[in-house]
Amino acid sequence: MKNIFFIIILFNSLFAGYFNEALKQYESGNEKKALELFRESCNNDISNCNEIANMFLDGNVIKQNEIYAKEFYKKSCYLNDYSSCYYVGYLFLKEKDHPNALKYLEYACNNDISDACFLASAIHYKTYKDDRNYVNYLEKACQKGDYQACSQVALIYYKGKHKVTKDKYRAYRLFYNACEKGKRDESCMMVGYFNQTGEAIEKNLYTAENIYKDLCNKEYKKACIQLENFYQKVDTSSNEEYLKSKKKAISKSN
C-alpha cells in the first residue's frame, strides 16, 4: 500500500514538474519545447490532457490556442473521455469543418453526452438539410436529459414538420417531460394548452388554469396573456367542464 502511495506522489510531482517547466518555456517564447513537455505530461492521462486542453481553450493561464486545445482534447477522447470528444467536435465546428465535427459529436452523443447530440442535430439540419437525422439526434439529446431538445422535438411532432408524421399524443408526452423534469416554461405552457383544448388527452380546464397561473406568477408573459384569453372563454363560476375538473382535483387532494 505504501508503495502505491509513493508511486502516486512521484507521478503527481513529475506531472507538476513537466507542467510548470512547460509553462515557463511557453511564456518565454519557446513554443516547441513547451509543447514537448505538455505532451509528455499528458502521456495517456485523461485528467492531465484535459487540464492542458482547458488551459489552451480558455486562455486564462496562457494565450488561447484552439488548435492546441483540440490536440489535447483529442488525446483524452482517444482514451474514452467522451466529454473531450464533444469539445473536439465543437472546435471542428468553429472551424466550419462539418464532416469532422459530426464524426466527434456523434461519437460523443452515442456515449451519453447530450450537448453533443444537440449540436449534431443542428449540423444535420443547417448544413446538410437532413430532416431524418435532425429529428433523430434531437430525440437522442432529449433522451439523455436535454429538455430544450425535448421541447423542440415535441413541437415537430405536434406540427408534423421535417417529414415526421404528426403525433399529438407523443408531442404531449415530450412537452410534459420537458415541463416536469426540465422546468421548461414553454413546454409547461403547451401542457396547459393540451389540458385546455383536450387535444390528445382528457380535457381539464382547472389544470390548464393552474398551469397558466403558476407560469404567470413566475413572470412568463406568454402565460399571463394566455390566462387572460382563458378567462375570456371560460367563466370559472359557471362553466360545467371547469367546475367538474375542479371538483375532481379537490377530491383527489383530500
pLDDT tens digits along 205-248: 999 999 999 999 999 999 999 999 999 999 999 999 999 999 99
CA 140 – CA 116 distance, rounded (Å): 10
The total domain count for the chain is 3
CA angle centred on 192, ends 180 and 231, rounded to 5°: 145
pLDDT in tens, 140-190: 999 999 999 999 999 999 999 999 999 999 999 999 999 999 999 999 999
**pLDDT per residue as tens digits for the range 111-120:** 999 999 999 9
Q: CA-CA distance, 128 to 83, in Å (whole number)?
A: 24
CATH of the domain at 135: 1.25.40
What is the rounded distance in angstroms from the CA atom of residue 135 to the CA atom of residue 171?
A: 13
186, 222, 230 from 235: Cα distances, Å? 25, 21, 9
Does residue 44 carry a pLDDT above 90? Answer: no
Q: Is residue 252 part of a domain?
A: no
- pLDDT tens, 32-43? 998 998 898 888
Give me the domain span that covers residue 55: 23-79
Same domain, 241 and 207: yes
Residue 15: pLDDT above 90?
Answer: no
